[in-house]
C-alpha cells in the first residue's frame, strides 16, 4: 500500500511508509458506529480544533488506558452512548503525519467499529453531545463524503468502510 495524501498530511497502514515516522503524542481512537446501515458523525464546535467539520466519535488515549477502554470512554463522553468494551472492535491502525506551521506531527489513529442494535421503536439512538460538538447525523458512508469532513476524514472512511 502506498502513502495516501490528504489535505495537510499523509496516512498509511504501515509506519515504515512515512519516512522518519515518530509519534510523540498520545494515540488517537475513533469509532465507526453504525445503526440501521447509517454511520454516526459529529460536527466539531467552532471553538475547537477542526472547527465546524464532521468526524467520527473519538479522541486521545489516556495514560494507563487500553485502546478499547479509551474508545468506550470517548463514545460515552461525546455521545452519552454507553457501550461495553466487548462490542467495539479494532479494525486497523492508521499512521498519520500532519503538516503544521510549526513542523510535522506524527500520530497513530486506531480505528474501531461497532454496530448498535436496531430498537423496536425504529427511532435512532439518542445522542447527547458534549461541549466539543454542535450537531450529529446518522448518514450512509456515501452521504458522509458530501459533508465537510475533518482533514484526512475522507481517506480514513475509504480505508475502513470500502
Residue-wise pLDDT for 37-55, tens only, equals 899 999 999 998 889 999 9
Break the chain into its structural domains and give their ranges.
Answer: 4-161
Mean pLDDT value across residues 81-105: 94
Per-residue pLDDT tens for 12-29? Answer: 999 999 999 999 989 999
pLDDT given at position 122: 58
* Residue 96 three-state SS: strand
Per-residue pLDDT tens for 59-85? Answer: 999 999 999 999 999 999 999 999 999
In the predicted model, what is the mean pLDDT of the chain? 92
pLDDT given at position 100: 87
Residue 120 pLDDT more than 60? no
Correct CATH for 4-161 of 2.40.50.140, 3.40.50.300, 3.90.79.10, 2.60.260.20: 3.90.79.10
Amino acid at each position: 500500500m502506498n502513502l495516501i495524501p490528504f489535505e495537510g498530511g499523509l496516512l498509511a497502514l504501515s509506519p515504515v511508509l512515512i519516512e522518519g515516522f515518530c509519534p510523540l503524542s498520545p494515540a488517537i481512537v475513533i469509532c465507526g458506529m453504525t445503526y440501521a446501515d447509517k454511520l454516526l458523525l459529529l460536527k466539531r464546535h467552532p471553538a475547537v480544533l477542526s472547527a465546524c467539520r464532521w468526524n467520527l466519535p473519538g479522541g486521545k488515549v489516556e495514560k494507563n488506558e487500553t485502546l478499547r477502554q479509551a474508545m468506550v470512554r470517548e463514545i460515552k463522553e461525546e455521545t452519552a452512548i454507553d457501550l461495553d468494551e466487548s462490542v467495539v472492535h479494532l479494525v486497523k491502525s492508521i499512521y498519520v503525519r500532519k503538516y503544521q506551521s510549526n513542523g510535522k506531527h506524527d500520530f497513530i489513529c486506531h480505528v474501531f467499529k461497532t454496530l448498535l442494535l436496531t430498537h423496536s421503536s425504529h427511532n435512532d439512538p439518542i445522542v447527547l453531545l458534549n461541549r466539543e460538538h454542535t450537531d450529529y447525523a446518522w448518514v450512509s458512508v456515501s452521504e458522509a463524503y458530501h459533508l465537510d469532513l475533518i482533514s484526512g476524514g475522507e481517506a480514513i472512511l475509504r480505508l475502513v468502510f470500502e
